[in-house]
Structures are given as C-alpha cells and as structure tokens.
C-alpha cells in the first residue's frame, strides 16, 4: 500500500513536491560537464605558462568566453545540487540544515558572480 496520493503517483512527486526533477537536473549538469570540463582542461593545458596577454586574447574570442561561462554555470549548479544532497542526507538538525542550505546557495551565487565577472572582464579586454 502506497502513502502517495493518486495525483502524486501520476506526477511522480515525492513529499517535497520535487519528485525526480532534482535527480535529473544533477544528471543533466553531469552530462553537460563532460565536454565542458574537457574544453576547460584543454584550454588550461594549451595556456600553461602562456603570457597574460595571450590568455586574455584567447578569452576575448566570443566562443571561448561563452564556453568558459557555460563551464562555470554548469559546474556551479552541479556543485550546489551535490552539496544540497549531502547536507540534506547528513545534517539532522533542522536549524543547521536550513542555515547550511542557505550558505550553500549564497556561496554558489557569490563564486559564480565573481567568476563570470572575471571571464567577462578578461573577455572584453580587462
């Protein structure tokens, strides 16, 4: 006997009303990260030891700047979701859990904003 309502069974929603959306978002970012991280590693290896002007010139290419932004967004979303799952699974005090979930989101937004600002600044010739 299931404790889920008929509507909940049809929609696939759990008690938190998120259902499998959280699971799929994590898997989607994981798949997106594969080619993006490969691009990022190739970029790093190609520019290891390169002068600042050469790296700035590479980042001023719109395709490279957009890909670098996509690396940041996808990796940060994936990181936030992963940390959220860890916090929800291993932190049992409700106050601490809520505080850590908020800090997780604020940290991700802060790191994302600063990283994207840096890519844009370098991309536009900063």
Residue 122 binned pLDDT confidence (cut-offs 50, 70, 90): confident
Report the predicted TM-score, pTM, of the whole model to 2 decimal places: 0.80
pLDDT at 49: 96
pLDDT, tens digit (0-9, with 9 covering 90-100), for 36-75 = 999 999 999 999 999 989 999 999 999 999 999 999 999 9
Residue 115 binned pLDDT confidence (cut-offs 50, 70, 90): very high
What is the average pLDDT score of the chain? 89
Checking phi first, is residue 102 left (phi over 0); if not, alpha (psi -120 to 50) or beta?
alpha
Q: Which domains does the chain have, with CATH numbers?
A: 20-123 (1.20.1300.10)
Distances, alpha carbon 2 to alpha carbons 9, 21, 23, 43, 44, in Å: 9, 21, 21, 51, 52
Instruction: Give percent above pLDDT 90 in the chain.
Output: 71
CB atoms near residue 116 (< 10 Å): 15
pLDDT at 12 over 70: no
pLDDT at 126: 64
pLDDT at 28: 94
């Amino acid at each position: 006997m299931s404790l889920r309502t008929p509507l909940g069974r049809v929609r696939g929603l759990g008690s938190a009303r998120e259902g499998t959306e959280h699971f799929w978002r994590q898997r989607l970012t994981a798949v997106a990260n594969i080619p993006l991280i490969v691009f990022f590693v190739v970029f790093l290896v190609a520019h290891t030891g390169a002068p600042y002007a050469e790296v700035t010139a590479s980042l001023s290419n719109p395709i490279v700047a957009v890909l670098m932004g996509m690396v940041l967004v996808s990796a940060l979303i994936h990181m936030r979701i992963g940390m959220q799952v860890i916090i929800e699974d291993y932190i049992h005090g409700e106050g601490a859990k809520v505080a850590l979930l908020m800090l997780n989101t604020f940290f991700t937004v802060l790191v994302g904003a600063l990283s994207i600002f840096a890519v844009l600044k370098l991309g536009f010739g900063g």
